[in-house]
Structure 1
Amino acid sequence: MDEETLDNLGELQRAVLEAVWGMGEATVQQVRDRVAEAGRGELAYTTVLSVMQKLEKAGWLGHRAEGRVYVYKPTRSRDEADSSTARALLRRVFGGDPLRLFQHLIADEDLSDGDLAAIRKMLERKKSERKG
């Protein structure tokens, strides 16, 4: 399968996937309830089922049967999905050059002192990993 990214998903697909990530695993009804609680309104059971089946076909979800109910579980973590999406963005927009991405983030974003301190810590941690 080609590297799937969150960018390839529609808004409802992302909302459903976020719901499953948030619960760890879930039935269609549980996802339907969670998505409604998140302010998307009441969706038909069959709509949520269809979205979850499409996410499973695309490799985002898997399921197991518990009696007459399917329980869906993500096939990759939120962090793995974020990483693959970031790598795709880096390749697509910045030609694979992380320095260009960081230059734009640092120049264009209103980073707080806390943000800059967190970035500094990440860079130091990465530097020490390379030495170790």
Structure 2
Amino acid sequence: MTATEHLGKLQLTIMRVLWGAGEATVNDVHEALLESHGLAPTTIATMLKKMERKGVVKHRTEGRRFVYRPTVSEELVTRSMVAELAERLFDGDKVALVSHLLQAHEVDADELAALQRQIDAARRAAKEEA
């Protein structure tokens, strides 16, 4: 996945099914998303083909069925999409991105404490690298 390539909402939803299951057929994905999305199996098959062209999934043949698996990690996709968002909306300014999130959304004390732990860990890692 390139830094500028992103997945759409439905593609991310399908990827979450694949990340959770490890691998799945079109029917498996259809069953997992039927209640929440009501998509036809043909729609899911089309999306999986597009995702395979993007290089984010691969398939193997099992009988007459294709079994799909992710080729990129959830972490890689998240990093890539957040970096793209930061670049597009904040000219790559990570401080502006985090500031916006903190100001635009209610953040409770537990969430702030978790963020502080992440900042502290990043500081320690930066010191170790220096």
**What's the TM-score bracket when you normalise by the shorter of the two chains?**
0.7 to 0.9
Q: Deviations over 1:86-131 (max 9, x none)?
A: 0001111111111111221222221100010000000011111112
Q: Give the match for residue 60 of structure 1.
A: 56
For residue 78 of structure 1, report the CA deviation from its aligned partner: 1.4
Residue 106 to residue 48, structure 1, CA distance change in 2 (3 Å):
closer
Residue 48 to residue 108, structure 1, CA distance change in 2 (3 Å):
closer
Where does the alignment leave 5 or more consecutive residues of structure 2 unmatched? Answer: none
State whether structure 2 residue 68 is matched by structure 1 residue 72: yes
Q: Give the match for residue 26 of structure 1.
A: 24
Alpha-carbon separation, structure 2, partners of 1:80 and 1:72 = 18
- TM-score, reference length from structure 1: 0.86
Alpha-carbon separation, structure 2, partners of 1:29 and 1:60 = 19
State whether structure 2 residue 13 is matched by structure 1 residue 15: yes
From 12, 33, 36, the equivalent of 1:35 is 33
Q: Give the match for residue 131 of structure 1.
A: 127
Determine helix, strand or coil for the equivalent of 1:20. helix
User: 1:18 is matched by which residue type in structure 2?
Assistant: R
* More displaced stretch, 68-77 vs 121-130: 68-77
Q: Deviations over 1:5-47 (max 9, x none)?
A: 23xx2x433332222222121011101111114x212x33222
Alpha-carbon separation, structure 2, partners of 1:101 and 1:12 = 24
Over 3 Å off, 4+ runs: none
Alpha-carbon separation, structure 2, partners of 1:98 and 1:14 = 23
User: Number of residues paired by the alignment?
Assistant: 127
Residue 50 to residue 118, structure 1, CA distance change in 2 (3 Å):
same
Where does the alignment leave 5 or more consecutive residues of structure 1 unmatched? Answer: none
